[in-house]
Chain A
């Protein structure tokens, strides 16, 4: 071994130019760094957590894609009906619009059913994510205890877990949105003709998709806050004792 005495002296001596603040801190950059590493190193684990988000958000964005497609199709039908009506009028002078009222009623019922489905899918998504977050926090109690021993404030721990949840939430949501959207679009195009994408209202569609991503990320954050805060508030000794 190298000259231990000399190094030991260097290890504990205080350098004059050393400006260790009186603060203890965890800069966001460092927290993001740690969180990214936590996610990438436990990729399988993170993927399982994210799959909850993916499924929930895929469902949500499918429902919304379906809604936009339906609107486009109905709009198209209505337009066709109007044209037919005008043509009929011109030809026979009769006014017949078959099933117009029924169609409107059906659309209303479908809208109600869809918003119910959206709420359900969000609920399922929230429960799934909070369960995964709870697990991932619980299995890392000892790590949390160690961090507290090294001088981490409760807020550092919460910060790391929240950044992690946000990462997982964002990634999962983006994947979910892409899956749900493509699925919905393909299905409706197959039914209503492949020119459907040209007919739907893209601004509305993009708004819905962006909302899906935001909702996914927010649910992941909300679901993570409780277990993270609970874990951070544990006394360090208790966190260290836990065996998992």
Chain B
């Protein structure tokens, strides 16, 4: 959230980036909002690096999040009251066995599903309060999604897949192509622009998905088991790429996973079991335990 001042009527507005016109005089405040956001991001990036700081700006907060799925007559609780604060610029992994509710939590944070009770805030905005239009706006510009199954649009080329969110964002086509090329180059696919998804390997498809997630400069990247369908080496490459993005641009990365390789790069690891947070570990604490976890995995 940032405070900005209108040029025309000097009204002070608090915004989360959703409001970009002055409510009083209707002036376009796009630039001011962008600038304010940039400053906040920069500040937050500083803060995250400083582990000793006690005040962090939280980009995602959940309060008492629950979700119950109805399977016919039976009610299956997937989440049972999750309170989680995620800092701006953080690399957070949500870990847990399958069926523990991590994908459900991922869906709640991403605004893909509605919680049965409780609330989820992104940049202090309660997702439940958003209209369909605002929610789409949020998904389009604030959040980039990466999935286990890549979910590229099969009939589109790599470049078209990456530029699709930019079409929704109303970017001009020249700008779109230039940025699409740049992003694919960034993920190391500069020579695969016009390949269809089925002509790409799993790792390459996931790279396209990462480029697509970055299309509209999101502040959060949500990754649901991004390495789940990849072999060990490719998975490592994808994790390294995500970490580079996290460090290089300060984008917050939230990743649901049960891939232990993720631990190495995560700032914090949230362990989920039976729809509740079991424990949250910091990087410094984890490093001591990696050996033990590794043994557990082997056994």
Contacts and interface: CB of A to CB of B under 8 A. Distances in A.
Most buried by B among A1, A12, A25, A30: A12
Given A4-B186, A9-B249, A20-B169, A240 B31 contact: no
Interface string A1-41: 11011011111111010111111111100100000011001
Given A2-B188, A156-B168, A12 B136 contact: no
A72 interface: no
A11 B168 contact: no
Contacts of A104: none
A37 B153 CA distance: 11
B121 interface: no
Contacts of A23: 170
A149 B217 contact: no
A235 interface: yes
Interface size class of A (residues with CB under 8 A): 35 or more
Nearest to A238: B113
Nearest to B250: A12
Most buried by A among B114, B164, B190, B212: B164
Contact of B137 (A10, A16, A24, A237): A24
Contact of A1 (B37, B114, B188): B188
B156 A37 contact: yes
Task: Name the residue in B38, B139, B167, B241 with the highest tally of chain A Cβ atoms < 10 Å from its Cβ.
Answer: B167
Contacts of B183: 11
Given A7-B185, A30-B167, A149-B139, 9 more contacts: A4-B244, A8-B245, A10-B182, A14-B38, A16-B31, A22-B21, A148-B112, A238-B113, A240-B112
Interface of A: 1-2, 4-5, 7-14, 16, 18-27, 30, 37-38, 41-42, 142-143, 145-154, 156, 235-238, 240
